[in-house]
Structure 1
Amino acid sequence: MSSDVLLETRGVTQRFGGLTANSDVSISIRRGEILGLIGPNGAGKSTLFGAIAGARVPTAGMILFEGRDITRLPAAERCRLGIARTFQVPRSFDSMSVVENVMIGAFVRHANATMARAAAYDTLDFVGLGGRAETSAGQLTPPEKRRLEVARAIATEPKLLLLDEVLTGLTPSEARLGVELVRKVQGRGITVVMVEHVMEIVMQLVERAIVLNLGQLLAEGAPAEIVRNEAVIAAYLGDRHRAA
């Protein structure tokens, strides 16, 4: 494994009974990059995310993080190593305050509650939720809940952050703020992998894209290359994109 590769999957396959969600997927994630993971619904993106995060053990293949085989490590151990994620549907503890939600992530690095709370406040300021710290998480708007998820993940001090559709469903102004936040996260030295469907956002934000289709790796490369790839246009972007 090259020193600039943070995480690598080798031949990752995931079967659910007779369904193959991922088939022999081999990708590399480079340190410090913003990588887009794109493809049509049912392409296997969320399954691959889950395999990297530790939600499930692949049926076959291997996952390496900083050269270490983590294929069978549970999610909590991967988090301690430096892998954090958000979920497509935001998950929060609505009866707890916003800062208490973020403290849950901070406890990965800080056993002391005072230190965890201080780290949580700093993280909320970073994501733009400092003014909502004492609010009940259940009172947040949907875009704020997405930021709360990002804050809780960042509070674990990850090396790799997996973002699952954090910009989907946002207004244009909210999406612009989301793009700025992702770039700020990268500015902290955190590698980012994004699953997104809003191509206008993905193509301006990511440095490299990996395209899955029917569970298999279809293409990878710079955004300008991906949007001109005939196989990607046929499987995902559509003829209207070709005309554009």
Structure 2
Amino acid sequence: MTSDILLETRGVTQRFGGLVANSDVSISIKRGEILGLIGPNGAGKSTLFAAISGARVPTSGSILFEGVDITQMPAAERCRLGIARTFQVPRSFDSMSVAENVMIGAFVRNSNATRARAAALEVLDYVGLDGRADATAGQLTPPEKRRLEVARAIATEPKLLLLDEVLTGLTPSEARLGMDLVRKVRARGITVVMVEHVMEIVMQLVDRAIVLNLGKLLAEGSPADIVRNEDVITAYLGDRHRAA
């Protein structure tokens, strides 16, 4: 029987000299959920993303994906297993076309260029960038570049998608479209973990939230529980939120 836990971290600690960016972090990510990873700046969110995606090997602890220990596994191999991510600052190949950028992701599952392009065009249609397929990535607006990042990640056919602030800095209408896209991604059967700072967006979108503070797990639970948690209000949301 398949476990409902897709990924878990067990006591993950990440040290950079004397700085402890993650300290004994143990979390579970359930299949099919949209999970919010929140907390103040410097809480260790991006460091945990790096550990899960394979950009960094934790100093101690372990990471299991579908029950397999991937702690020492390179990022490319994790991608083939089904873990994909976006970056806080979009990393596009600006001189290449939008379709070619997405083909880079599609090549993970399609060694044939014709099939990779067909897969890329399907994903571009899915994220609403089909009309920009032949434009260079450098011609895209900032919101379009964020969608391109998501498209390239989806083209790898992930089971788990890590979204790093894909909705930050958008106008209200752009953010609504971004939220719709995240829901569509989940409807595609992809589990989503997202780092975001705009609480009004996060609390409408996620099924569950995990709060980090000073590298440690502070709280986890439903959005309703999190916004009423006194420790979270003190460390992250602030007195203004308590008054509201």
For 1:19, the aligned partner's letter is L
- Aligned-residue CA RMSD (Å): 0.9
Aligned to 1:239: 239
Q: Can you list the C-alpha shifts for 1:80-119, whole angstroms capped at 9, x where unaligned?
A: 0000000000000000000000000000000000000000
For 2:76, the aligned partner's letter is A
Aligned to 1:24: 24
Aligned to 1:39: 39
Aligned to 1:94: 94
Secondary structure in 1 aligned to 2:88? coil
- In structure 2, the gaps of 5 or more residues are none
Counterpart CA distance in 1 for 2:135 and 2:77 is 30
**TM-superposed deviation, 1:21:** 0.1
Counterpart CA distance in 1 for 2:95 and 2:136 is 6
For 2:210, the aligned partner's letter is I
**TM-superposed deviation, 1:72:** 0.3
**TM-superposed deviation, 1:135:** 0.2
Secondary structure in 1 aligned to 2:13? strand
Aligned to 1:195: 195
**TM-superposed deviation, 1:219:** 0.0
Counterpart CA distance in 2 for 1:136 and 1:48 is 32
**TM-superposed deviation, 1:29:** 0.1
Secondary structure in 2 aligned to 1:176? helix
1:124 aligns with 2:124: yes
Counterpart CA distance in 1 for 2:9 and 2:147 is 28
**TM-superposed deviation, 1:26:** 0.0
Q: Can you list the C-alpha shifts for 1:45-90, whole angstroms capped at 9, x where unaligned?
A: 0000000000010000000000000000000000000000000000
What TM-score results when the alignment is normalised by the length of structure 2?
0.99
Secondary structure in 2 aligned to 1:88? coil
Counterpart CA distance in 2 for 1:8 and 1:158 is 16
Counterpart CA distance in 2 for 1:43 and 1:136 is 36
Counterpart CA distance in 1 for 2:220 and 2:68 is 24
Task: Work out the percentage of aligned pairs sharing the same amino acid.
Answer: 86
- In structure 1, the gaps of 5 or more residues are none
What TM-score results when the alignment is normalised by the length of structure 1?
0.99
Aligned to 1:50: 50
Counterpart CA distance in 2 for 1:199 and 1:233 is 12
Secondary structure in 1 aligned to 2:111? coil
Aligned to 1:64: 64
For 2:198, the aligned partner's letter is V
Q: Can you list the C-alpha shifts for 1:150-183, whole angstroms capped at 9, x where unaligned?
A: 0000000000000000000000000000000000
For 1:175, the aligned partner's letter is A
Secondary structure in 2 aligned to 1:22? strand
Counterpart CA distance in 2 for 1:20 and 1:134 is 45
- Superposition map of 1:9-20 within 5 A: 9-20=9-20
Counterpart CA distance in 2 for 1:138 and 1:75 is 26
Counterpart CA distance in 2 for 1:56 and 1:234 is 30
Runs of 4+ in 1 over 4 A off after TM superposition: none
**TM-superposed deviation, 1:192:** 0.1
